[in-house]
Structure 1
Amino acid sequence: MYRCVRVAAPDNMLQCILWRNSPEDEFGVYKLDTVTYGTKPAVFLAIRAKHQLASDESSSYPLGAQIVMRDFYVDDLISGGNTVEEVLEIRHQTTSLLARGNFRSRKWCSNSQEILGDIPDADRESFLKFDDGSNITKALGLVWDPLKDSFLFAFTPRITPGRNSKRSALSTIARCYDPLGLIGPTLTKAKIIMQRMWRDKLEWDESQPQSLDTVWSAFCKDFVDVHHLSFPRYIGATQEVAFCDASLEAYGACIYARSIKDGHIQVHLLCSKARVAPLKTLTVPKLELCVAGLLAHLVAEIAKTKAFDCSFYCWSDSTVVLSWLKEVPSKFNVFVANRHAVALRPYSHEPSGYFV
């Protein structure tokens, strides 16, 4: 994508390089006339040029302009539609629009072979092999099985008996990429163990005590079971139901998408977010208030995408927190007042969200 964007004069003079093939030759001066990957403004210039192209061609390709502005992450496009015809139109308009700026679209992949029928093999995404033999590809870091149209997770533990340390534990947690929080409860358990290492003031490469080493090894052994987990990529929703809860060790929030298909009610996990409780001990009601704010922000982020035109219902089992939220923040101490405002701020302009 970067080499498709030309740098106008006189700014291209700032991209001059010196080159010679041998020490005996004179230096030659070469000027790079396109955006160079690795420079600080490269990402902004490329994306800004693509957005300007979408704005200029919006009258000719209205759907394609909307997709380019909304569904691109740098040079990766993830989009879809409710019918094959709609997706084909998205592909046609997006490809035609980008071609106006000399952006070539390639590495196409879909859960429907009908959509890929007229695309040559050279422009299709090549598949990888998952542990169970499934053909997969990567979608912004997530493992996607197009045939089953589901997201998968893979984890290969690195267990060295008696040599587990804080560094190896952090490395293991960092290898688990889960931006939607689909396996959030499992990773939260790992972070709780990690917090215990910090509480015990272990050095980075110091061997863990027997108690922690046993707990961490058991976690890694059980964590292999994430291979058996899969989550559907497509989730239709007529209603969003969100929950939050807290304990003295951690607190978390999750959002479920509820829909009705062929007379049957379907409920799927949409996303989740969790936090480990701070080292400074807080009461359970205060932690419940913290997670209410976390849930409010999570719902606000989902609503901002405008992917679901439905109501959001947020549930908490803490009567203390619900009573706090019914009052004005000025009635409480600073801790409660600040988090009270955080929990309700996302709903100040969103009448479709409710705490129950």
Structure 2
Amino acid sequence: DNLHGANSDEEAASIITRTIDLFGRGGFSIVNWASSSRTVIKSLSPELRAKGLVSIPDDTVLPVERVLGLNWDAEDDKFVFCTNFPKVKEHVIICSRPPTRREIASLVMSIYDPLGLVAQFTIKGRILLQEAWLLKSGWDDAIPEDMFRKWKWWVEQLKSIVNVRVPRCYSTNLGEAKNTELHIFVDASSQAFACVAYIRVEYSTGVDMGLVLARARVAPLKPLTIPKLELQAAVMGSRLAMTIQKEIQVPLSSRVYWSDSQTVLSWIRSEVP
């Protein structure tokens, strides 16, 4: 799989043509092409298009395609999520009876989210999995009633991920940007620590904001103070920013880090808190 963008239909069509030609020299046939542009799709012969795009009347809404394991809504050019988990037992999803630790893991690990776009949902499931682990019960023993209530609440909340729609494109025309900043926010609680990265693109006519990447981790079993967990979040945020700057094809004017912990800010500045 490959996911790419272009500033115009002509540029996108050229990228496709050159890619097909390049791989063709090595004997590879590159097919299943999809685009959010009907013009680009129609420039391709039907046998090169993705299955859902072989025929696209003008009044047809473009389908949701699978790209690098993610669900991509070609019509709106956004990443979307679904709550269809075919490998998870039905009673685990409808909460008809308390699940086992193994069944909790089967659902929590079924949510594929490499960009962390729904980390606010998945981290709560991983916290529950950690709590189930602390019970010291077997993998196939049902969880107790008090934890089952938490589980039902989380499964109900999980249904909301279908409402999460994140634009694939950070901004409409990065080539005209006056200033491009990467903003990293970090935070922690007694149960987890996390960071999230946004890109801020400033034009002469306004400002665009785009979600880039997020990470969330369950707090370790060995108890740490909140300031130390906040520091863990800051370290993770710093590493996230370096990864983004290395991989993203956007020149950044600056990186800005945000934390509400005065203690962590003092540690970073090497001051005595």
1:107 match = 32
Matched, 1:230 2:155: no
1:212 match = 147
Matched, 1:240 2:202: no
Pick from 119, 128, 139 the counterpart of residue 184 of structure 1: 119
Structure 1 distance, partners of 2:75, 2:168, is 11
Amino acid at match of 1:183: V
Amino acid at match of 1:146: A
Displacement of 1:193 in angstroms is: 1.1
Mark the structure with the bigger radius of gyration: 1
Kept in 2: contact 1:126–1:137 (CA 8 A): no
**Comparing 160-169 and 176-185, the one that deviates more:** 160-169
Displacement of 1:109 in angstroms is: 0.6
Pick from 119, 124, 127 the counterpart of residue 49 of structure 2: 124
**Comparing 108-117 and 235-244, the one that deviates more:** 235-244
TM-score normalised by L of structure 2: 0.86
Amino acid at match of 1:193: L
SS of 1:189's partner is helix
Amino acid at match of 1:217: K
SS of 1:307's partner is coil
Matched, 1:150 2:78: yes
Deviations 1:191-222 (A, max 9, x none): 11111111121211111111000110121022
1:163 match = 98
SS of 2:94's partner is coil
1:307 match = 249
Structure 2 distance, partners of 1:246, 1:215, is 21
Kept in 2: contact 1:106–1:123 (CA 8 A): yes
Structure 2 distance, partners of 1:202, 1:161, is 21
Displacement of 1:274 in angstroms is: 0.7
Structure 2 distance, partners of 1:265, 1:327, is 34
Displacement of 1:135 in angstroms is: 1.8
1:273 match = 215
**Residues 84, 118 of structure 1: alpha-carbon distance in 2 compared, 3 angstrom cutoff:** closer
2:135 match = 200
Kept in 2: contact 1:173–1:187 (CA 8 A): yes
Identity of aligned residues (%): 32
SS of 1:317's partner is coil
Q: Structure 2: where are the runs of 5+ without partners?
A: 54-60, 85-91, 175-179
Q: Structure 1: where are the runs of 5+ without partners?
A: 1-75, 332-356
Structure 1 distance, partners of 2:97, 2:20, is 55
Higher relative contact order (CA 8 A, sep 6+): 2
Kept in 2: contact 1:81–1:87 (CA 8 A): yes
Structure 1 distance, partners of 2:95, 2:165, is 28
Displacement of 1:138 in angstroms is: 0.2
Displacement of 1:187 in angstroms is: 0.5
How many equivalent pairs are there? 250
Kept in 2: contact 1:250–1:277 (CA 8 A): yes
Structure 1 distance, partners of 2:109, 2:7, is 35
Structure 2 distance, partners of 1:137, 1:241, is 30
**Residues 143, 262 of structure 1: alpha-carbon distance in 2 compared, 3 angstrom cutoff:** farther
SS of 1:218's partner is helix
Pick from 2, 18, 21 the counterpart of residue 96 of structure 1: 21
Displacement of 1:134 in angstroms is: 7.0
1:12 match = none
Matched, 1:294 2:236: yes
2:88 match = none
**Residues 255, 111 of structure 1: alpha-carbon distance in 2 compared, 3 angstrom cutoff:** same
SS of 1:127's partner is helix
Displacement of 1:259 in angstroms is: 2.1
Displacement of 1:298 in angstroms is: 0.7
